[in-house]
Amino acid sequence: MPTEQKKTEITPQARDALIKMLKGTNRKLRQESSRTLAEAARQDVTMLLDKVDVFIEALSLPEAQTRWECLDVLSEVAKEKPEAVLDAFAGAEESLFDDGSASARLAAFRFLTRYGSIDPACATRAWPLISEAVQCYHGDPEYREMLICLKDFARGNLGEDVKKQLVDRMEFDATTGRGFMRAYSTEICSIAMGEE
């Protein structure tokens, strides 16, 4: 019997207290508050839409967990209000190439693919970083999850130029790869070419 996922609902007062902790100097409290806020964002991001600047600022914090949780919040914001997350790109790029945290890299990749799937302009903006990450992390432990994000990206509202570049990027693994890399790459190419 499947278990029900526990909902993380926060009151406006609790949200404000968590935001205050996120902006504070205590690393542990920043991590805990960002985790709770990310869980809440997955349930209902609307109460965080007016606090986007706090999450963007948090992308410059030293601890990876706070950054990846804030990127998860921003991924949810991107679906509702893409124009609000434009200033997150620099912080997302830093986390995308964080040598010390696969979770931060994956969260940044998820953010970029989620943002990029919104419309052709967003796709064009996000694609260079997405493409570079595919090259950099090919075969790394988080790469399987990145391919899942790429499938969602391929299903997005991409322009023809980005679709072609995506197919060009994935074609090698789709034809010569093995295992999950070949399977996912083939599926991504099919989706991008409208053959799904």
- Domain 12-192 coded CATH 3.90.180.10: no
Q: Is residue 66 over pLDDT 90? A: yes
Nearby residues of 13 by Cβ (< 8 Å), 6 or more positions away: none
Residue 102 banded pLDDT, cuts 50, 70, 90? very high
Q: What is the pLDDT of residue 10?
A: 84
Q: What is the pLDDT of residue 5?
A: 53
Average pLDDT over residues 128-153: 94
Of residues 3 and 58, more confidence is placed in: 58
Residue 139 banded pLDDT, cuts 50, 70, 90? confident
Of residues 88 and 3, more confidence is placed in: 88
Q: What percent of the chain has pLDDT over 70?
A: 95
Sorted by where each begins, the domain ranges of the chain are 12-192
Residue 195 banded pLDDT, cuts 50, 70, 90? confident
Residue 9 banded pLDDT, cuts 50, 70, 90? confident
Average pLDDT over residues 103-131: 96
Q: Is residue 1 over pLDDT 50? A: no
CB of 181 closer than 8 Å to CB of 150: no
Mean model confidence pLDDT for the chain? 93
Q: What is the pLDDT of residue 59?
A: 97
pTM above 0.75, yes or no: yes
